[in-house]
Amino acid sequence: MSLEKNLPIGVFDSGVGGLTVAKEIMKQLPNENIIYFGDTARVPYGNKSRETVTEYSRQITTFLLSKKVKAIVIACNTASAFALETLSKEFPEVPMIGVVLPGARAAAEASQNGKIGVIGTAGTVRSGLYERYLTGIRPDCQVYGQACPLFVPLVEEGWANDPITEQVVHRYIDPLLDNWVDTIVLGCTHYPLLKDVIEQVAGPDVTLVNPAYETALELKQMLTEGDLLADERKKKGNYTYSNHTFFVSDGAEQFRAFANSILPCEMIETKDVNVKVF
Ligand code: DGL
C-alpha cells in the first residue's frame, strides 16, 4: 500500500504529555494534520510493565491506523522504550518513530563533561534504553538515571507552579547535581511542562534537553525522505490548527482545558473514545 502524503500523522501518549511533542510538530511541520490520542483513562504508564504498556500501545496504534494515518509518533518515552521496537515490526505498513533516540542524540551532543542525567518514569529508567543509546553514540559518557514518579501526577493535576512541586523537583534533581551532571534529558514528555522549575533548581550550568524538538526534526526528515510531506496550506499566524483532531480515553473536558492552556489555539475539538472499542 502506498501512503498518501496528505494523510494525518498519528501521535500518542498516556495523557497530556505528548502535547509537548504535538506542539513541536505543529511548529516545525505547519502543513501537517495531527490525530492525537491521550490514554487518559489508563495514565500513568510509567509504573506499568513492559507487557502492559506494549499492549496499550498496540491498541492505540490499531486505533490510529483505523483513522488512516501516514506515520505514527510515539510521543511517550515509556511507550517508546518498551514498545517501539515490537510495534514497528508488527505494523510495517506505516513508519513509526519514538522520542528516546532523538533525545539521546541531542543530549550526547549537548554535554561537555560527558555526565548526563536522564529523568523519566520508573519504566523508562528501568528499560535502560537511554543509557544504551547514549553510550552507543558517546562511549565516554556516564549516565545517571533518575525515576521521578511524582512528576506525572503533578503535571496532570496542573500543579506545575506550586511550591510543593519545587520541593519534589529538589528531591529528584539534587542527587544528579551531586554527580556533577552538566546535561539532563527530560526523558518523559510530561516533564517539559515542569521545565521552568527544573531549570531553576538545576541552575544555569546545566543544559536541559527536550527530546520533542529533535523528534519533530527526525519526523520531518523521515517524511521528506519518504516523499510524504503534506502539501502547503494556508496558515493562521505561525500555526495551522484547523484539522488537528484529539481523542482521549476519558475526561475530554479536562483534557481540552489543559491542551488549550499549552497549545496556542482557541478551540480544540476533543472526542472521548471508550477503550473498550479497541
Ligand atoms: N509521558 C509519558 C512518558 O513520556 C508517560 C508518563 C506516564 O504515563 O507515566 O514517559
Supply the pTM of this predicted model. Answer: 0.92
CB within 8 A of 215, min separation 6: which ones? 21, 24, 25, 73, 75, 97, 98, 99, 102, 103
73 lines ligand 1 (CB under 6 A): no
Q: How many domains does the chain have?
A: 2
Burial class (CB in 10 A: 0-12, 13-18, 19+), 117: buried
For ligand 1, the distance from its centroid to the CA atom of residue 98, given in whole angstroms, is 12
Just list the catalytic residues. Answer: 76, 188
The answer to whether the beta carbons of residues 239 and 265 sit under 8 Å apart is yes
Within a domain: residue 39? yes
| Beta-sheet pairing, 115-120 with 183-187 | parallel
Going from the Cα of 232 to the center of ligand 1, the distance in angstroms, rounded, reads 32
Task: Give the phi and the psi of residue 11 in degrees, each rounded to 5.
Answer: -130, 130
Give the Å distances, CA to CA, from 191 to 66, 143, 182, 195. Answer: 30, 18, 18, 6
152 and 234 fall within a common domain: no
pLDDT at position 244 is 87
Strands (E), the chain: 9-13, 34-38, 71-74, 96-97, 115-120, 142-147, 183-187, 207-209, 245-248, 270-272
Residue 1 lies inside a defined structural domain of this protein: no
Distance 47 CA to ligand 1 centre (A): 9
* The pLDDT value given to residue 277: 41
Q: Which domain holds residue 114?
A: 101-211
Same structural domain, 60 and 85: yes
Assigned C-alpha cell, 83: 514498545
Domain boundary (172, 193, 211) is at 211
Which residues of 90-172 form beta strands (DSSP E)?
Answer: 96-97, 115-120, 142-147
Atom number in ligand 1 closest to CA 79: 10
Measure Cα distances from 205 to 103, 110, 181, 184, 218 in Å.
19, 12, 9, 11, 27
Residues 105 and 201 in one domain: yes
13 lines ligand 1 (CB under 6 A): yes
What separation in Å is there between the alpha carbon of 18 and the centre of ligand 1? 8
Residue 7 CA to residue 13 CA, distance in Å, equals: 20
36 shares a domain with 127: no
Distance of CA 199 to the CA centre of its chain: 19
Regarding whether 95 and 20 lie in a shared domain, the answer is yes
Q: How would you class 51 by CB atoms within 10 Å of its CB: exposed for 0-12, middle for 13-18, buried for 19 or more?
A: exposed
Query: Which strands make up the sheet holding 183-187, listed edge to edge?
Result: 142-147, 115-120, 183-187, 207-209
Residues 93 and 108 in one domain: no
Work out the angle between the directed axes of helices 195-202 and 163-178 (0-180°, nearest 10): 50
- Which phi and psi angles does 145 have, rounded to 5°? -90, 140
State if residue 78 touches ligand 1 by the CB under 6 angstroms criterion: yes
Cβ proximity of 272 and 250 under 8 Å: yes
List the CATH number of the domain containing 157.
3.40.50.1860
Q: Is the CB of 43 under 6 A from ligand 1?
A: yes
Contact indicator for 244, 268 with CB cutoff of 8 Å: yes
The four Cα atoms 56, 57, 61, 64 give a dihedral, to 10 degrees, of 70
Residue pLDDT tens, the chain, 278 long: 567 999 999 999 999 999 999 999 999 999 999 999 999 999 999 999 999 999 999 999 999 999 999 999 999 999 999 999 999 999 999 999 999 999 999 999 999 999 999 999 999 999 999 999 999 999 999 999 999 999 999 997 889 989 999 999 999 999 999 999 999 999 999 999 999 999 999 999 999 999 999 999 999 999 999 999 999 876 656 555 457 889 999 988 888 888 888 886 654 566 777 654 43
